[in-house]
Amino acid sequence: MGDLTLIDASAYALQVLLIILAIAIVMHKNNGTIIILIASFSLVTASLYVLNSAPDVAIAEIAINSAIIPLIYVISISRQREYIILDKVNDDFIISDNSFTGIGYVILKRFADFYHLELNITNDPGLCALGEGEDQVLCEATNVDLIITKDTETNQYVFKGKNSSILIHKLEQLTKDHDNIRVVKFKDRDVGE
Amino acid sequence: MSVSKNIILFALLSVLLIVFMLAMQDLDVLYNSYGRDYYLLYGLEETGSRNLVSAIYLDYRLFDSLFEAGILLIAVSGIIWISKHDIEEKNAKFMIDKYKTPDLFVTFSRLVYPLMLTFGFYVIINGHLSPGGGFQGGAIVATAILILYYIDSERETNIGLIVTIEKYIFMTIIVLASISLFTRGTFFTNFMPLDASLQMKSIYLVLLNLLIGFKVALGLWTIFTAFLKEGR
């Protein structure tokens, strides 16, 4: 320990910091904080590379792991927060008077606020043009979470979603009291089935 | 059943450990300084690169670098393949929603974007003089392009075109690396003669670094555009 230089001491300190950061990344629950921790982890790693005279590797580490990867994570997580709804109903269930004030929207908004999701309601003409039978394929092939259609015989609105999604079960409980809403859950299929 | 499996696994691991320790006997032969000394003595003179890392990956071990560039190309192809939508669909509009990105972030990105781009090209072009090089600079340029998507959320990207350009750049790299067959008689080295001046030799280094930098930037651009399009 006698001839411990300043560089050696800072290298040891950085290595301890690295272990602390790694444990923090695993233990933390908030996704946003984890992204910041991952970026700082690679910043510390890059400093260690510089201390070990590898500036080339340090630049690559900074560029990839503390810039591109966190930005990609930010995008992925912002996708995850969305609840994408395909509105195939053309009456005032969701949109009345050209604004989101329909009874269906109020129910879904309450549901989304409770689970901290952001509603993304689309009535994309290309997707709406597909027939009723395509709904299951649409749920599997795209990232549409919920499809709303209208059953003309029973005059009910039908919510369609994947059975594997926990949210569709919660939505079913929430809409239990509404007689004009029915929830349909698609069973998961294996690829090619 | 599981106990016997564990015993077999343990025995296999022990055998591996013993073989590994036996193989590591001649550490003096494995860890010598011949290569390092050679690069330090002749590296600058033979390749014209002051950055010995660049000297190795652009001259002595260019064959390895070609396959590293190929790995990125294969990774890009794999990501496009896995993300399941066809190219036309991927050319659809970009979708970071405008109202979701904070104004502070957008303004700061506008400020930082030209600096990042300049620094990226600096790292690429000075790859043979200072730390850095094609890969590092390409990654910085790709980050700058990614920032551009946050500034202008309505941006559209033609992934098919980017991938095509990347493939052609990869072919150009191979051709440029093979020119030395006609000037020096060997594949995959500097095409300038061995007794050319350092400036002449650095032409080749800058050219190759630029091509690798463009290739890496385009490859990373494709990867994160595939991620971005995946949402919708």
Residues 6 or more apart from A32 whose CB is under 8 A from it? A77
**Residue B121 and residue B207 in contact, taking contact as beta carbons nearer than 8 Å:** no
Contact indicator for B138, B170 with CB cutoff of 8 Å: no
User: Does B128 map to a domain?
Assistant: yes
Amino acid symbol at B147? I
Q: Write out chain A residues lying below 8 Å of B155, CB-based.
A: none
Lay out the sheet containing A146-151: strands in order across. A118-122, A82-87, A146-151, A156-162, A181-186
Distances from the Cα of A57 to the Cα of A42, A45, A48, A117, B150, angstroms: 11, 10, 10, 40, 28
Domain membership of residue B23 (yes or no) is no
Select the residue of B96, B139, B230 nearest A60 (Cβ to Cβ): B139
Where along chain A do its domains lie? 6-78, 81-186
B127 near B54, Cβ under 8 Å? yes
pLDDT by residue, tens only, chain A of 193 residues? 556 788 889 999 999 999 999 999 999 888 889 999 999 999 999 999 999 989 999 999 999 998 889 988 887 777 667 778 887 777 777 776 677 777 788 888 888 887 777 777 777 777 777 777 777 777 777 777 788 888 778 778 888 888 777 788 888 888 888 878 888 888 777 655 4
Question: In this structure, which CATH number among 1.25.40, 2.60.120, 3.30.70, 3.40.190 belongs to the domain A81-186?
Answer: 3.40.190
Block residue for tokens 């059953």: A151
Confirm whether B22 is domain-assigned.
no
Pairwise CB contact (< 8 Å): B228 & A143 = no
Let me know if residue B16 belongs to a domain.
no
The closest CB to that of A67, out of B143, B227, B228, belongs to B143
In chain A, which among 20-79 make CB contacts under 8 A with chain B?
A: 55-56, 58-60, 63-64, 67-68, 71-72, 75-76, 78-79
| Number of domains within chain B | 1
ipTM score for this prediction: 0.78
Look up the domain containing B88 and give its range.
33-229
Cα Rg of chain B (Å, integer) = 23
d(CA A62, CA B139): 9
Query: Is residue B117 domain-resident?
Result: yes
Q: How far apart are CA B40 and CA A16, in angstroms?
A: 34
Provide the whole-model pTM: 0.71
Q: Chain A residue with minimal CA distance to B127?
A: A56
Query: In a structure prediction context, what are the per-residue pLDDT tens digits for chain B, which is 232 residues long?
Result: 678 888 999 999 999 999 988 887 777 777 788 888 999 998 888 888 898 889 999 888 899 999 988 999 999 888 888 775 554 454 444 444 544 667 888 889 899 999 999 999 999 999 999 988 889 999 999 999 988 887 876 677 788 899 899 999 999 999 998 898 888 888 888 888 888 888 888 899 999 999 999 999 999 998 888 777 665 4
CA-to-CA distance for A91 and A99, rounded, in angstroms? 12
Distance CA B114, CA B151 (A): 12
**Which residues of B fall within a CB distance of 8 Å from A42?**
none
